[in-house]
């Protein structure tokens, strides 16, 4: 018995030593990843090029193709194993111009607005009609067709400031932007105005998508300052009219997802996907949404390569086209995966801003989530405080159909809606250190998942 106890103690001691050695090794590797990320400005400089040379890169626009070429050239210069374009066809919407004004005491006062996608166009002279202000879709429906027909509906419900999670506040308010135009049209309205979805009181109109199929009406977003101005003017004059002009068109385009691979050493036919979306609304440079997500994803490959980390599986970075309007890029990659029997092992997305990293949300089985939680302690020293069940992301979302575990990178979100879908989302708003902390966090978690797997 004494010999057995002594033997057992030796085995346990050996296991403990091996575990400690493994822990030290992983901590050292992760430190190398962070050290490299925080002392390299390649991705930050490329983000500037993307923002300044290809702003307003909505699907089908000339700048969307410039953006793809800029990033393709950048990735090819990195020397990754494979860089290619995944072509697909998609509907698109091009906004040429949009404006609106009200007449106050004989003076035409312009409003800070932008078109929602895919808004309908107006005649050249625009449309002019009385405004009806509502604060919810239910309130609009209660008014009925008799009171709405021939009017321009003005949705003026602000985002709730009481939610700590700003995405929750956005989710509660976005129905008036997304469904509002079609609800107004169905009751005979000739146009729709939506208060910008931001906490700030400022002059930036925040655009976004709306669900407008079939017959279209002009649909615009107005800045929060001008929403308040419009509401005040309407109270003083219930018959106030607004003039809206929108010049836009619907097209069909051939376009691309941009893909780069770092080949796996043991299981090269299995892919760990990491991605962001390369498109951006017509009114913005799209730095945080989502130029950063694209560059952070490419950094994952670079950080593996430059630190001599040989992944077991192929790491695949995807710059998806058309997250903003029709989500055709994510759906086309799903179709591509099916057609080519692509084995996607895991997918991560960065599309929630590039501020200071906070954690990851996981859309997967309890077993996978539990396994990923085992890696959390390696990242806690770098500010990663949570890995919780939650959404993965719009572009990687279609892969759930194939049973792929999904993961979303999450940064501090409090300032995100200051810049979301507006002209304020510029390169100058990006902090390189925050951006690169995110790149390192993503690369480190993918390193651990690839080395130790998702589940036994």
Mean per-residue pLDDT pooled into runs of 10, the chain (456 residues): 45 42 79 98 98 98 98 97 98 98 90 98 97 97 96 97 94 97 98 98 98 95 98 96 97 98 98 98 98 98 97 98 98 98 98 97 96 95 95 97 97 96 98 98 98 83
Alpha-carbon span 38 to 432, nearest angstrom:
8
> What is the total residue count of the chain?
456
Rg over CA atoms, the chain: 25
* Cβ 373 vs Cβ 449: under 8 Å: no
Angle at 253 between CA 248 and CA 254, to 5 degrees: 160
Alpha-carbon span 257 to 280, nearest angstrom:
14
Q: What is the pLDDT of residue 106?
A: 82
* Cβ 351 vs Cβ 395: under 8 Å: yes
Q: What is the pLDDT of residue 225?
A: 98
Beta-bridge mates of residue 220 = 115, 193
Tokens describing residue 189 = 């309205």
Side-chain-facing half-sphere of 274: CA atoms under 13 Å: 34
End-to-end CA separation in angstroms for the chain: 33
Q: Which option is the CATH number for 26-81+263-452: 3.30.559.10, 3.40.630.10, 1.20.1730.10, 3.30.590.20?
A: 3.40.630.10
Q: What is the pLDDT of residue 347?
A: 98
Give CATH 3.40.630.10 domain extents, the chain: 26-81+263-452
Alpha-carbon span 225 to 196, nearest angstrom:
9
Give CATH 3.50.30.30 domain extents, the chain: 97-249
Angle at 217 between CA 207 and CA 221, to 5 degrees: 20
Please spell the DSSP secondary structure of 73-103, one letter per residue.
HHHHHHT-SEEEEEEEEEEEEEEEEEEEEEE
Alpha-carbon span 441 to 433, nearest angstrom:
12
Tokens describing residue 307 = 């630190």
Alpha-carbon span 185 to 181, nearest angstrom:
6
Please spell the DSSP secondary structure of 429-443, one letter per residue.
G--HHHHHHHHHHHH
Tokens describing residue 388 = 């919780």
Q: Which option is the CATH number for 97-249: 1.10.10.10, 1.10.8.60, 3.90.320.10, 3.50.30.30?
A: 3.50.30.30
Rounded to 10 deg, the angle between the 432-452 and 292-306 helix axes is 60
Q: pTM higher than 0.85 for the full model?
A: yes
Alpha-carbon span 174 to 170, nearest angstrom:
6
Q: What is the pLDDT of residue 130?
A: 97
Number of other CB atoms surrounding residue 196 within 10 Å? 29
3-state SS, 256-269, equals EEEEEEECCCCEEE
Alpha-carbon span 254 to 83, nearest angstrom:
19
Number of other CB atoms surrounding residue 158 within 10 Å? 17
Tokens describing residue 251 = 């097209």
β-bridge pairing 107-111 and 82-104: antiparallel
Please spell the DSSP secondary structure of 35-72, one letter per residue.
HHHHT--HHHHHHHHHHHHS-S--TTSHHHHHHHHHHH
């Amino acid at each position: 018995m004494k010999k057995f106890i002594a033997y057992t103690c030796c085995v346990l001691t050996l296991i403990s030593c091996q575990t400690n050695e493994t822990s030290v090794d992983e901590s050292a590797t992760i430190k190398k990843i962070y050290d490299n990320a925080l002392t390299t400005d390649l991705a930050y400089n490329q983000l500037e090029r993307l923002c300044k040379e290809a702003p307003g890169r909505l699907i089908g626009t000339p700048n969307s193709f410039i953006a793809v070429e800029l990033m393709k050239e950048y990735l090819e210069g990195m020397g990754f194993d494979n860089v290619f374009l995944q072509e697909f066809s998609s509907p698109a919407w091009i906004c040429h111009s949009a404006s609106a004004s009200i007449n106050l005491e004989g003076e035409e006062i312009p409003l800070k607005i932008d078109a929602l996608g895919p808004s309908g166009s107006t005649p050249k002279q625009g449309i002019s009609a009385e405004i009806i202000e509502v604060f919810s879709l239910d309130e609009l429906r209660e008014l009925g067709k008799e009171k709405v027909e021939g009017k321009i509906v003005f949705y003026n419900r602000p985002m709730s400031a009481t939610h700590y999670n700003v995405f929750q506040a956005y989710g509660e308010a976005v129905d008036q932007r997304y469904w509002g135009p079609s609800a107004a049209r169905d009751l005979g309205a000739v146009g729709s105005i939506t208060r910008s979805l931001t906490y700030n009181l400022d002059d930036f109109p925040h655009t976004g998508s709306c669900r407008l199929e079939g017959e279209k009406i002009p649909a615009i977003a107005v800045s929060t300052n001008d929403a308040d101005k419009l509401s005040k003017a309407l109270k003083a004059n219930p018959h106030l009219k607004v003039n809206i002009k929108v010049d836009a068109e619907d097209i069909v385009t051939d376009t691309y997802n941009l893909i780069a691979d770092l080949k796996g050493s043991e299981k090269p036919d299995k892919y760990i996907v990491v991605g962001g979306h390369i498109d951006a609304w017509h009114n913005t440079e799209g730095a945080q949404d989502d130029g950063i997500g694209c560059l952070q994803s490419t950094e994952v490959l670079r950080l593996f390569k430059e630190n001599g980390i040989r992944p077991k599986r192929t790491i695949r970075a995807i710059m998806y086209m058309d997250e903003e309007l029709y989500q055709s890029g994510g759906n086309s990659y799903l179709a591509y995966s099916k057609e080519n029997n692509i084995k996607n092992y895991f997918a991560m997305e960065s599309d929630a801003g590039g501020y200071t990293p906070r954690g990851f949300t996981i859309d997967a089985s309890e077993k996978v989530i539990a396994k990923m939680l085992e890696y959390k302690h390696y990242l806690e020293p770098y500010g990663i405080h949570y890995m919780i069940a939650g959404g993965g992301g719009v572009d990687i979302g279609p892969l759930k159909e194939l049973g792929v575990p999904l993961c979303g990178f999450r940064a501090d979100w409090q300032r995100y809606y200051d810049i979301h879908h507006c002209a304020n989302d510029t390169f100058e708003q990006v902090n390189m250190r925050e951006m690169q902390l995110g790149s390192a966090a993503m690369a480190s978690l993918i390193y651990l998942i690839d080395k130790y797997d998702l589940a036994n």
